[in-house]
Amino acid sequence: MNATRYNLVFYQEEILNNFLVSLGNAKGKNITSFKYAYILHDSDIIEATGELKKAHYHLWLEFPQAVKSQFIENILNISGSDASALSYQKTDRNFLAYLTHDTTNSGIKAHYEFENIKTNIDNNTFYEMYYEAVTKANKPSRAVQETENIKALAQIINGNENITSFSVLMKFLLDNQEYELMQYCIKRSYGLQKGFESLFQLNNYNLASKGLENEIIGKLQEARNKYHSLQAQKNKLNGMHNNLEILQDYYEMKEREQKQNEK
| CATH number of domain containing 119 | 3.40.1310.30
Domain count, the chain: 3
Is residue 216, in this structure, part of any structural domain at all?
A: no
* 156 shares a domain with 127: no
- pLDDT of 215 reads 60
The residue out of 117, 137, 157 marking a domain boundary is 137
**Quick one: pLDDT at residue 148?**
76
Contact indicator for 68, 1 with CB cutoff of 8 Å: yes
Do 156 and 198 belong together in one domain?
yes
Last residue of one domain, picked from the residues 108, 137, 166: 137
CA atoms within 13 A on the CB side of 150: 11
Say if residue 73 is in the same domain as residue 101.
yes
Eight-state DSSP code of residue 94: T
Question: Of 77, 109, 137, which closes a domain?
Answer: 137
d(CA 120, CA 51): 33
105 and 122 inside one domain: yes
Contacts made by residues 188-194, CB under 8 angstroms, sequence distance 24+: 192/153, 192/166, 193/166
> Would you say residue 120 lies in a domain?
yes
pLDDT, residue 196, reads: 54
pLDDT at 201: 43
62 and 35 within one domain:
yes
Secondary structure of residue 180 in the 3-state scheme: helix
In the chain the beta strands, taken as DSSP E runs, fall at 2-10, 35-41, 56-68, 86-89, 118-119
Same domain, 133 and 149: no
- Among residues 16, 25, 27, 13, the alpha carbon closest in space to that of 79 is found at 16
Q: 153 and 106 in one domain?
A: no
Residue 220 lies in a domain: no
Low-confidence ranges of the chain (pLDDT < 70): 29-30, 82-85, 87-92, 104-107, 138-144, 188-221, 223-224, 227-228, 235, 238-243, 246, 263
Mark whether 93 and 204 lie in a shared domain. Answer: no
Same domain, 131 and 41: yes
Residue 166 falls within a domain, yes or no? yes
pTM exceeding the 0.85 threshold for the entire prediction: no
For residue 56, list its beta bridge partners: 41
Give me the pLDDT at residue 16, please.
92
**Does residue 105 lie in a domain region?**
yes
Is residue 131 exposed (0-12), middle (13-18) or buried (19+ Cβ within 10 Å)?
middle
| Residue 215 belongs to some domain of the structure | no
| Domain shared by 157 and 44, yes or no | no
Q: Is 245 a domain residue?
A: yes
In a domain, 219, yes or no: no
Question: Which residues face 171 on adjacent strands?
Answer: none
Segments forming the whole domain that contains residue 261: 226-263
Q: Please indicate, yes or no, whether residues 40 and 154 belong to a single structural domain of this protein.
A: no
The neighbour count for residue 166, using CB atoms within 10 Å, is 23
pLDDT for position 72 = 87
Residues 66 and 118 in one domain: yes
